[in-house]
A and B are shown apart, each in its own frame.
Chain A
Amino acid sequence: MSAADGTARATAAAVADGSLRAVDVVEASLERIAAREPQVGAFVEVFADAARRRAEQLDAERRKGSPPGPLAGVPIAIKDNLLLRGHRTSCGSRILDGFTAPYTATAVQRLLDAGAVPIGRTNMDEFGMGSSTEHSCFGPTRNPFDPACIPGGSSGGSAAAVAARMVAIALGSDTGGSIRQPAAMCGVAGLKPTYGRVSRFGLVAYASSLDTVGACATDLGDLALVTRVMSGVDPRDATSLDHAVADFDAPPSSLEGMRIGVPSEYFAEGLDPAVEQAVRAALDTLAAAGAEPVAVSLPHTEFAIPAYYLIATAEASSNLARYDGVRFGARSGGDADLEEMYTRTRTEHFGAEVQRRILLGCFGLQRGHAEQWYGKALAVRTLIRDELAAVFARCDALATPTSPVVAFALGDRLTDPLAMYLCDTLTVPASLAGIPALSVPCGFSTAGLPIGLQLMAPPLGEPTLLRIGTAFQSATDFHRREPAP
């Protein structure tokens, strides 16, 4: 077995006891990237030299007796919207052309402190705005299971890198499903933590009341470990939760006595029959493991897409006001007047989807419209969150499909924003409610494309999700299936 083939935990343990060198782990990952990257296009930059230097440093520190961290020598890919000091960050946008991070995101720093090795930054939809990783100034990422198809998005580069076994763990961000949906489409696990569980300091903002930092992995023990390491209050993020970090990576236990809600609204029109079949079979598997499926109803689910897109675009129109050609990134019209410089910079460097969402957000916040659109969306969000809370009073978790469809062909939905937005139908309710949600592989379509099972729990219920997910993976092998080379 080469160094890059094991779980991150096994790799870290071997590096810690000296049976494996971090430099060999990194070299194996770089070799895998070199072999698979031309077909997949998961990375926008590979930090080959920096990763080798860091691995040498970790090996030297171990020889000197420094205690290794729980992620010692583990290569980790980082979505291109998380800052790593001294490296470029572009969010898939031309407007951040040339931007070098002056500091490191807290989530990334905690992984560095645990011994992880950043191996590169992964492709994404511009500023996280997309569900296919086609809206990137670097071009699209391709699905490792079928290069003619999208990998999902916006963390499509991270999910594809894990699916192609270039890395065991990749960081992503999830605003409306941007970790879970690509994880489902690429056949890997993806966890969106509770809102505030992981600090957003150093995450480039898209929609501040929705943004979360999480990860993709093939192994749920690895996913639990990396999420635990990143979690915890951060003085630099006022929205981070001051709550004890649970033992996410506890050993698996029985699902006996656990009630899992199955909301009928998540199996509605528009759901691919292959997805429904796989998810219903997964529910049978969970029942066989001891869980009790419970039929529940969440009638406001149909309003989640409008509420989400009105809130997210409103917040985006405000957050992206900072890109004006003054403090960082690209500038056009520097010889013109200030207003003209702002307008030319933004018009010439934002992509079409970002411009569309800024316009939509400005509309929803406009004087005379704000109460009707943005205000209404915030009230609907309350109804969706309260409805979920009521269901969690009698269920430990919910189980649904992650995406209504499997990965579609590149270009299929690119010119139809509404069709693209509807990809997020089943992931945005958890985002609006701030609850944790996990996607695990639960099957394949007849064309061999992965299908994901979404599990949702009340706030801070990550251990519950990982317990259910681990029980499911103990009984199935979908997570072990690799795409053909």
Chain B
Amino acid sequence: MTDIDVAQLAVLAKLRLDPDAAEEAVGHVRRLLDRFAAIQGVDTAGVAPSPYPLEIPHRLRPDLVEPALPLAEVLQNAPATRAGCFAVPRVVDG
């Protein structure tokens, strides 16, 4: 059975799990991982990982300034703005 530290996972995921939700979530995740554990038996010695499915050559482009969204449109969906910036709760004193 896969060992799962649900409290640590919640911190990484930035989610709050009340005790009932945590129990259900860890149950589901554990059941999935127990099923997925079958891949541990696959011989992958010497097999290169594939982060992408196809070989896509890296393309370079000229380092030029191009038009960007106007500031008002960048900010239009923000829950809170102030002085042309995204506003968030205070993170430093002063």
Give A residues with C-beta under 8 Å from B.
98-100, 102-103, 194-196, 209-210, 235, 238-239, 241-242, 300, 302-303, 305-307, 309-310, 317, 321, 324-331, 334-339, 341-344, 346-347, 350, 355-356, 358-360, 362-363, 366, 372-373, 375-383, 385, 417-418, 421, 431-435, 459
Contacts and interface: CB of A to CB of B under 8 A. Distances in A.
B70 to A, nearest CB: 9
A317 B42 contact: no
B78 A310 contact: no
A100 B59 CA distance: 31
Given A329-B77, A334-B79, A381-B53, A418 B35 contact: yes
Given A102-B69, A350-B15, A433-B53, A417 B32 contact: yes
B77 A100 contact: yes
A325 B50 contact: no
Contacts of A303: 38-39, 42
B56 A360 contact: no
Contact of A421 (B12, B32, B48): B32
B13 A359 contact: yes
Contact of A376 (B28, B39, B80): B39
Given A359-B9, A377-B39, A379-B44, A102 B32 contact: no
Contact of B89 (A309, A335, A358, A376): A335
Given A102-B73, A421-B32, A347 B78 contact: no
Contacts, number: 168
B14 A366 contact: no
Contacts of A342: 14
Contact of A366 (B12, B39, B52, B79): B12
Nearest to A238: B59
13 contacts: A242-B59, A306-B36, A306-B38, A347-B15, A358-B13, A363-B9, A372-B40, A373-B36, A376-B42, A382-B48, A382-B50, A417-B32, A459-B54
B88 A100 contact: no
A306 B33 CA distance: 8
B42 A380 contact: yes
B53 A385 contact: yes
Given A341-B89, A363-B4, A383 B15 contact: no
A151 B52 CA distance: 30
Contact of B16 (A347, A359, A417): A347
B20 to A, nearest CB: 12
A196 B59 CA distance: 13
Contact of A99 (B61, B69, B77): B77
B49 A375 contact: yes
Contact of A327 (B16, B32, B59, B78): B78
Contacts of A327: 77-78, 86
B61 A235 contact: yes
Given A100-B77, A359-B9, 20 more contacts: A98-B77, A99-B77, A102-B69, A102-B76, A196-B56, A239-B56, A329-B77, A337-B89, A338-B91, A358-B15, A360-B33, A363-B9, A372-B40, A376-B44, A378-B51, A379-B47, A381-B53, A382-B48, A418-B31, A434-B52
A418 B48 contact: no
Nearest to A361: B13
A195 B36 CA distance: 25
A102 B56 contact: no
A310 B6 CA distance: 17
A195 B44 contact: no
